[in-house]
């Protein structure tokens, strides 16, 4: 059975002080929830402080990005070696990274590096609004998955996040049914790239305007194993509620 994962992507929000306060507000309630994996992904600068605060709890810390090299002349970058002791996960290929930082061509190397350093990659895939309207969603996702996973045999720790770009930060989420259908296609693609068992085991999250009001709609879908949450993860009441709802709904549906 797949264990659900709810991950908060704080993006470029919170100073160190604010990050410490935010995780402090989340910690007690999140720690009580034991059948859902709980992850917060603060900015690089706060990873250390947040990881110290959650150290004795069940809350995990992830990075929003990383370089694929261990060290070297890459001004401004952060390496897997630098984060591996404090991060259980790393988000790779977020659409904002693909759009603003040209990440498309580095995603495969970053996933390989994450696996090498024992950091579980959360690979983001998703189509643009126009691709969706032109009926190209499947084609786009297949291409993103093929490119990201080329030459990678072992994906036991990989998590995939389906984030339709038109739903990110817009307040317009996909419907539960839509997301479930697309995530089913992603699972089929993983089955064809690997095998059926690997596809059944891989966790696939939904992301894009997920919040406390719509999380139940996603979590009751058979193919959806959690959420990658942006805006709502900065609001403790929302995020805690999303975790609680996931914990009570997910296991009613056999996944």
Catalytic machinery residues: 94, 163
The residue number with the shortest CB distance to ligand 13P is: 230
3-state secondary structure the chain: CCCCEEEEECCCCCCHHHHHHHHHHHHHHHHHCCCCEEEEECCHHHHHHHHHHHCCCCEEEEECCCCCCCCCCCCCCCCHHHHCCCCCEEEECCHHHHHHHCHHHHHHHHHHHHHHCCCEEEEEECCCHHHHHCCCHHHHHHHHHHHHHCCCCCCCCCEEEECCHHHCCCCCCCCHHHHHHHHHHHHHHHHHHCCHHHHHHCEEEEECCCCCCCHHHHHCCCCCCEEEECHHHHCHHHHHHHHHHHHHHHHHCCC
Out of 149, 207, 224, 225, the only residue in the binding site for ligand 13P (CB under 6 A) is 207
Out of 4, 6, 9, 206, name the contact with ligand 13P by CB under 6 A: 9
Residue closer to ligand 13P, measured from CB, 43 or 208: 208
**Which lies closer to ligand 13P via its Cβ, residue 18 or residue 69?**
18
Cβ 208 to ligand 13P, closest distance in Å?
5
231 binds ligand 13P (CB under 6 A): yes
Min dist CB 151 to ligand 13P, Å, is 26
The residue (of 66 and 168) whose beta carbon lies closer to ligand 13P is 168
Among residues 66, 160, 228, 240, the one that binds ligand 13P under rule CB under 6 A: 228
Q: Does 42 bind ligand 13P (CB under 6 A)?
A: no
Please report whether residue 238 would count as binding ligand 13P according to CB under 6 A: no
- Distance (Å, whole) CA 99 – CA 134: 20
Which of positions 158-187 make contact with ligand 13P (CB under 6 A)?
163, 168-169
- Per CB under 6 A, the segment of 25-33, 43-51, 78-86, 206-214 that binds ligand 13P is 206-214
CA dist list (Å): 89 to 158, 160, 188, 248: 9, 12, 24, 24
Enumerate residues 73-132 that contact ligand 13P by CB under 6 A: 94
Residues contributing to the site for ligand 13P (CB under 6 A):
9, 94, 163, 168-169, 207-210, 228-232
């Amino acid at each position: 059975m797949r264990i659900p994962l709810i991950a908060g992507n704080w993006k470029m929000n919170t100073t160190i002080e604010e990050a410490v306060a935010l995780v402090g507000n989340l910690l007690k309630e999140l720690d009580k929830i034991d059948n859902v994996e709980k992850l917060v992904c603060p900015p690089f600068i706060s990873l250390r402080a947040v990881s110290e605060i959650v150290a004795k709890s069940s809350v995990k810390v992830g990075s929003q990005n990383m370089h694929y090299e261990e060290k070297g002349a890459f001004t401004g970058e952060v390496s897997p070696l630098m984060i591996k002791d404090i991060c259980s996960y790393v988000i790779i290929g977020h659409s904002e990274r693909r759009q603003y930082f040209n990440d498309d061509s580095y995603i495969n190397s970053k996933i390989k590096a994450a696996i090498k350093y024992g950091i579980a990659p959360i690979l983001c895939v998703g189509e643009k609004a126009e691709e969706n309207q032109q009926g190209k969603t499947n084609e786009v996702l297949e291409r993103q998955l093929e490119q990201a996973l080329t030459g990678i045999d072992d994906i036991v720790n990989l998590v995939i996040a389906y984030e339709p770009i038109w739903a990110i930060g817009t307040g317009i989420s996909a419907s539960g049914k839509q997301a479930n259908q697309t995530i089913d296609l992603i699972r089929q693609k993983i089955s064809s790239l690997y095998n059926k068992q690997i596809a059944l085991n891989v966790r696939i999250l939904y992301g894009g305007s997920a919040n406390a009001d719509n999380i139940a709609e996603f979590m009751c879908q058979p193919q959806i194993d959690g959420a990658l949450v942006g805006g709502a993860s900065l609001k403790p009441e929302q995020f805690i509620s999303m975790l609680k709802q996931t914990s009570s709904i997910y296991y009613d549906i056999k996944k």
